Amino acid sequence: MHTYVEIRASALKSNLIHFRRATSTGVMAVLKSNAYGHDLELCTRAVRGQADWIGVNSIEEAIRVRKVDDSTPVLVMGANDKADYKEIASYASKPVLVLSTIDAIRELEDHLPGHPFHLKVDTGMSRLGHHGVSLQKIFSYLSAHPELNWCGLMTHFANVEDVTDQTYAQEQLNRFDEASAFAVSAAGNRKLAFHTAASGAALLLPESRRDLVRVGISLYGMWPSRETRISASALTAQGTLDSSFKLEPALQWKTRIVHINAITAGTAVGYGCTYRPVQDSNIAVLPVGYFEGYDRRLSNKAHVLISGKRAPVIGRVCMNMIMVDITHIADAKVGSVATLIGTDEKESVTADDLADWMGTINYEVTTKIEPGIPRILVD
């Protein structure tokens, strides 16, 4: 296989340890969306015994986790379909569902009586969950049904990563605190786990940490945003965040040169003839394109690394191929490794770099790497 993704288990572990130290609370490894493209099974194996919880999007992902790890608590955070409930009936350690309406709670009880669930409340994201009067109705319902296996209360922040001022998150947290007080009285003897924070809030808002933090992007060694990174360094300067806190990227994406083409100055490269070199050039073809998750928006923008040097992507990204300029890289040959994301000698190209070139966020870059490309666990 020419194209492959390397995942460093030691980086995943180190990032988890840094989060545990920085937050002093339970840590959920968020492995949804095929572990942000890093491979769900492989990452489940890598964090086994290190994470207090695993967070996934769907029942299908919960089952994939259970095949590798039969004991770490799993939270299914996305919308789920009652047609899939029978799939999780038999596990000793049951995947915990996230529900947000009375109808969903009833439906779960009809299909899987006594199955554990967390209630998600809306505090300002306006996605899943209720607030206000309709939330009070849910609490009344839960209070009137002590037989329900309700075991957690959660919410999700809308605006931690895009800003350095956390007023909006603070308002959401205040609403969560109000909801929590009602939840405690509705729960009766049931013990609830409370959680609100993803990577950004876990670092920046100590009061959001509660019983556990749900760490996704930063588990993989990426910062949620530039703003979060800046805010975190301010906290380090104040001494609120330990100066040893660091994140190590876990993923490197590599391929190999499959063809080299010598072209004369002015010759067009690729669809639309969008690039013509001003000098005679050597062009390498790499077998990744937008199908493989190398986004078309990277056309004429991105760099890859070959023999420790940067090779610009020239012309448009094709469906399964790109062309890069290797005129200045004398030792590049067919079979040479090209690093699409990662480090090669002194140079590196990060998921953040690709995100900047694409006009998106690092989350989208790694989740889009085609799942069929082999993921290899290293060290």
Ligand X SMILES: *Cc1c(COP(=O)(O)O)cnc(C)c1O
* Residue positions annotated with a catalytic role: 32, 271
CB closer to ligand X, 32 vs 303: 32
CB closer to ligand X, 140 vs 170: 170
Contact present, 14 and 20 (Cβ < 8 Å): no
CB closer to ligand X, 125 vs 184: 125
Q: How far is the CB of 337 from ligand X (least distance, A)?
A: 29
CB closer to ligand X, 156 vs 209: 156
Which residue has the closest beta carbon to ligand X? Answer: 216
Beta partners for 5?
Answer: 253, 375
Q: How far is the CB of 198 from ligand X (least distance, A)?
A: 3
Round the CA-based radius of gyration of the chain to a whole number and report it.
Answer: 24
Single-letter amino acid code for the residue at 257: I
- Please count the helices (runs of H) and the strands (runs of E) in the chain: 11, 18
DSSP string covering 121-190: B-SSS-SSSB-HHHHHHHHHHHHH-TTS-EEEEE---SSSTT-S--HHHHHHHHHHHHHHHHHHHHHTTP
Contact present, 304 and 324 (Cβ < 8 Å): yes
CB closer to ligand X, 198 vs 304: 198
Q: Which of 69, 77, 68 is nearest to 33 (CA)?
A: 77
Q: How far is the CB of 39 from ligand X (least distance, A)?
A: 16
Dist. CA 145–CA 147, nearest whole Å:
5
- Within 8 A by CB and 6+ apart from 198, the residues are 30, 156, 157, 160, 213, 214, 215, 216, 217, 224
Q: How far is the CB of 215 from ligand X (least distance, A)?
A: 5
Dist. CA 39–CA 74, nearest whole Å:
16
CB closer to ligand X, 285 vs 361: 361
Residues that bind ligand X (CB under 6 A): 30, 32, 77, 156, 198-200, 214-218, 224
- Within 8 A by CB and 6+ apart from 299, the residues are 270, 274, 313, 315, 316, 317
Q: How far is the CB of 220 from ligand X (least distance, A)?
A: 8
CB closer to ligand X, 13 vs 32: 32
Dist. CA 261–CA 198, nearest whole Å:
47
SS3 for 24? coil
Q: How far is the CB of 286 from ligand X (least distance, A)?
A: 29
SS3 for 19? helix
Q: How far is the CB of 247 from ligand X (least distance, A)?
A: 11
State in Å, rounded, how far the first CA of the chain is from the last one: 20
